[in-house]
Amino acid sequence: MSGKSRRLTGALFFALTSVVVAFQSSCGRGAGAMTDAAPHATATSSAMAYVPPPSSASVPEIQMRPLSFAPIAKSADPAVVLINVVGDKEEKSALSGRMRKHAIKGLGTGFIIEPDGLILTNYHVIKDASVVSVKLTDGRNFSANIIGRDERTDLAVLRITATDLPVIPLGDSEVIEVGDWVVAIGNPFGLDHTVSAGIVSAKGRTSEEVPILVGGYFDFIQTDASINPGNSGGPLLNMKGQVVGINTAIRGDGQGIGFAIPMNMIREVLPLLLRDGKITRSAIGLMPHDIREVPIDERLQNKWVDESGKPLTHGAVVNSVVRGGAADRAGVLASDVIVAFDGQAVKREVDLRWAASIRGVGKTVVLSLVRQGKSIDVKVTLTELPDPGKPVTPSAKPR
C-alpha cells in the first residue's frame, strides 16, 4: 500500500471513529443507551453541552427584523408634510428686563389624515406662528389655517385648500407592545422626509418622567427610533404603516430616547378640536397620586384594601380636595382611593386625570371609592377645569 493510500485509510478511520464517539456522546447517556466503552463515555460526557430541563411554559415564535422598512416608508411618506412657521415671540430682555418682540422662524412635521387637507402636528410647532405654510412631497406649497389647538396635549390641527391628497391611516396605540418595531418619518434639522426605525422602548411615560409642560396630559410612547428637532409633529408608524403616535419630544440628557403622543389619546380629543377649535376641560376638583407609589404596609395601615383584604394594586389616592369644588360637594374625602371613574377602572393617577378632563363640563359621573376598607359610590357633577395659572384652595378635611 502506498503512503498516500495509508494516509487516506488513516483519515477515513479517524473520521469513522469520530462519528462513533459523537454518536455515543449525544445518545449514550442522554437516551439511556448501553455501551461497553465506559471510559470513553465518561470522557466525552464531560464535554457535553448543557441541556436545560424541559419547561411547560410555551414561548411564542419570535418574528425577526423585517428585511426592509421601505414598503412602509413608500406608503406613508407622500402624506408627510414639512411645516414652516414665521411669527413673533415676546421675551424679556436680559439687559433691560423689558418685554420685547422678535421675529422667529421654525419648522416641523405634520401628516395628512383626510384627503381634503386635514393635517395633524404638534402645538409647539405652530405656537407662536403668525404664518404657517405646508410643503408636500410633490413640491407644492400651501398656506395653512390653524383650525384647532390644545397646549395641554401638544396637539394642533391644520387645514390646507387641496383635494385628493394622500393620507396615512390611523392605528390603535393600545395594541402595540414594548419591543414592537416602529418607524418615524420627519424633517430633522430641515433634512426633509428622513426615515428612522427602532422599537417601542416603553409605554405610559407621564409628564413627571417627561417634564415638558406643567399640567400637561401625557401618556407617552417611548421609542429609540431616531427623533430630533424638526421631527416634531411627524408620525410614528407600526409595521402595518398605521400611525400609532405623534413624535413630540426628546430627552436632552440622553440619546436615542424619544417620545410620541399615543394615537388613542389623539382620537379622543380630535373631534373636540374639529368642533370647537379648542378643548374646554372638565374637572373633579381634587389632587390625587398613584397608589402604587405607596408602600404595602402603609396601604394596609390605611385600609386601602380590596374585598379580600389584600392591598390595592391600582387606583388614585386623594391627597386633598378643592374646597367648594365638585368632589367636595359630592362628599369625597382626602385619603379616599378612587378605583373607577364612571365604571372605567382607574389603574393609574394619570387615567383619572385624563378621563375627568374630557368627560365634559356639567356631566355627572360615578366615582367608585375605597374608604377605610369599604367600597362606596358617589355621584360627582364635573365643573370646568381652571386655568393652569390660577391657584386652587385645598380643603382641610382630615385624612
The CA-atom distances, in angstroms, between 317 and each of 208, 299, 314 are 17, 10, 10
With a CB cutoff of 8 Å and minimum separation 6, the contacts of 171 are 237, 238, 240, 242, 243, 244, 263
Amino acid occupying residue 221? I
Residues 291 and 76: their CA atoms lie apart, in Å, by: 41
Candidate list 25, 124, 368, 395, residue with the active-site label: 124
Candidate list 173, 207, 232, 368, residue with the active-site label: 232
DSSP 311: B
Candidate list 25, 150, 154, 336, residue with the active-site label: 154
DSSP 274: H
Residues 385 and 217: their CA atoms lie apart, in Å, by: 13
Q: Roughly how many angstroms between the first and final C-alpha of the chain, as a whole number?
A: 101
Active site residue 232: yes
Sign of CA dihedral 389, 390, 391, 397: negative
Contact 342/365 with Cβ under 8 angstroms? yes
Active site residue 138: no
Instruction: Name the CA dihedral angle for 385, 386, 387, 389, rounded to a multiple of 10 degrees.
Output: -130
Residues 381 and 388: their CA atoms lie apart, in Å, by: 21
Residues 185 and 312: their CA atoms lie apart, in Å, by: 42
Task: Count Cβ atoms below 10 Å from residue 300 Cβ, excluding itself.
Answer: 15
Active site residue 289: no
Residues 198 and 389: their CA atoms lie apart, in Å, by: 38
Sign of CA dihedral 221, 222, 226, 232: positive
Considering only CA atoms, which of 318, 291, 289, 328 is closest in space to residue 306? 291
Residues 216 and 206: their CA atoms lie apart, in Å, by: 9
Contact 236/244 with Cβ under 8 angstroms? yes
Residues 277 and 267: their CA atoms lie apart, in Å, by: 15
Active site residues: 124, 154, 232
